[in-house]
Structure 1
């Protein structure tokens, strides 16, 4: 059986779409499927050599970009028609684009976060948040039991530990370059550096400056780790972007202050912050001049909860109850059974 995944990654897009789709690819591969990513050629620097590339190279002006995008979507339609299953995880596909894709391939799984594109048809719809979709979705897969985590989050060691670190992880690319100002603000607030652990994505903005700052101030850091679970297990709290990492931190039970760096993270925070295992500060809807004020607010939230043992214990318990790490396997087995049915 052949599976195509349409997803892109870049500094602006982030790595979240690619990472969660890789979790699905791993699960489907374990079931014997042949899987391949289909990627816009403009973003091949963030892709794998084994990916299938579509569209043009142009990044010069808006007209050329639109032409390249349209060419890529048209090219993908013929590819989709030849597959057994297509997974679409892409905000650049409108409801009309998805409807057109569905005409070429009805075995379509759409990954969604915001539920803001209007009605569109799909065989399956996956959203790790509780959302209502129209009757045009044949099999909705909604809720945190379908959160797509990497294989390392399955069957985690439940042994007791006493985590001591404050983990700072702003996603694969840190699109707003928040790591360095957050570190500065923590030091100004006299937060002890021996408890800080920085995790940088392989393509994080200002990574060289962050690494230099960490070395000068004796702050632990790692970059581009394939398996982040050991660092998360050592975290008493975290400062994190609110993409897919939200579900990873919940799975391990790490109370977190989230920095919202993209609009598509709004609904996940709207659902999770009231559960009282995390807090959030928004950065994506403000001008850069205001950003430092928000950084200060975020650090104040961290310091407020760092020594609140009761809150952290309850927050950790709540977080772990939400996500079990089996979402990707659950989705793959559900869809695979559809194809296996007599």
Structure 2
């Protein structure tokens, strides 16, 4: 099976789309398939992730999500003999997707909101808790919906998990690029709050201020890591997280790490609300004044609270970590 991914990343849109598709691409490879990648924009560190997995990539010479972009993507898929083209990004419109349709391959769209018109695809993947509430068109579309299809690497199911009672750190991260610029002010607020437990700060591969973060962490005695290949070894040590409500949310839930989320983009809001209803996390609005102060103010009370282990158990019940394998099994079933 041959799968071509069409994904972008940037300082503004972040790297979440890229990283979750990379998990799916790795699972395709592990199940004996072939993968290629095409993009218009990204960050050098994200390209290095492709090179590490020996995934060939092509940079398109076109305006992002334009008709020329669609034509180049379709040509690449047809010339390579792709069985599937997988597209992930909020900037890809219904018209763009319609231009990608072909009799030579099948098209899957990775989506969260169903707010961009008809999918114009063969299948849609939506891993949010509320996915089953969305009505996708056309009716003939295959919909892989819900937490059973969350894209996580195999380490989340094949590696020993540290018992929650033995975890020691607060995890701090605001996405692959920290487009909202929350890391530095969050760390200053944490330092001023008088916490007395270890803090692990992770800056993502597209985070441009990571050297400033490293200096601040050294000054306050926080641990810092930049562009880690996998978050699993870090999260496995953490008993609480202060983080953006992006795709890392699923990794935290799977490992049972109670979390205080900052919603930094409109597409994160509904997912954060849905997860908060399950009682393992709390979200704050990172787009409004005072949101970060309120979130940091909750860190110490939650850390010291008697309910933290119960929140961990509620989180673990939501996501089993086998979603990527299920998605690849579906893809294979349609080309055999």
Does TM, scored on the shorter chain, surpass 0.5?
Answer: yes
User: Which residue does 1:155 correspond to in 2?
Assistant: 158
Equivalent position SS for 2:180:
coil
User: Which residue does 2:237 correspond to in 1?
Assistant: 234
1:323 pairs with one of 305, 319, 325: 319
Check conservation: 1:260, 1:283, Cα contact below 8 A. yes
Q: Distance in 1 between matches of 2:10 and 2:309?
A: 36
Asked if 1:283 is matched to 2:282, the reply is no
Give the TM-score, by structure 1 length.
0.88
User: Which residue does 1:177 correspond to in 2?
Assistant: 181
Q: Could you say what the CA RMSD is over the residues aligned between the two structures, in angstroms?
A: 1.9
Alignment of 1:184-333 (within 5 A): 184-192=188-196, 194-284=197-287, 286=288, 290=289, 293-310=290-307, 312-333=308-329
Q: Distance in 2 between matches of 1:105 and 1:255?
A: 45
Structure 1 residues 334 and 158, CA gap change in structure 2 (3 angstroms): same
Q: Distance in 2 between matches of 1:44 and 1:307?
A: 39
Post-superposition Cα deviations, 1:65-85, rounded to whole Å, max 9, x if no partner, equal 57x843222211222334211
Equivalent position SS for 2:295:
helix
Note the residue ranges of structure 2 that are not aligned, 5 or more in a row: none
Check conservation: 2:14, 2:177, Cα contact below 8 A. yes
Q: Which structure has greater helix proportion?
A: 1
User: Which residue does 2:67 correspond to in 1?
Assistant: 70
Pairwise CA distance, 1:104: 5.6
User: Which residue does 2:135 correspond to in 1?
Assistant: 133
Structure 1 residues 72 and 323, CA gap change in structure 2 (3 angstroms): same
Note the residue ranges of structure 1 that are not aligned, 5 or more in a row: 57-64
Q: Distance in 1 between matches of 2:146 and 2:297?
A: 31
User: Which residue does 1:91 correspond to in 2?
Assistant: 90
Check conservation: 1:165, 1:195, Cα contact below 8 A. yes
User: Which residue does 1:25 correspond to in 2?
Assistant: 25
Q: Distance in 1 between matches of 2:179 and 2:137?
A: 36
Equivalent position SS for 1:302:
helix
Equivalenced residue count is 322
Q: Distance in 1 between matches of 2:313 and 2:182?
A: 28
Give the TM-score, by structure 2 length.
0.90
Pairwise CA distance, 1:269: 0.9
Pairwise CA distance, 1:103: 4.3
Pairwise CA distance, 1:106: 5.5
Structure 1 residues 242 and 149, CA gap change in structure 2 (3 angstroms): same
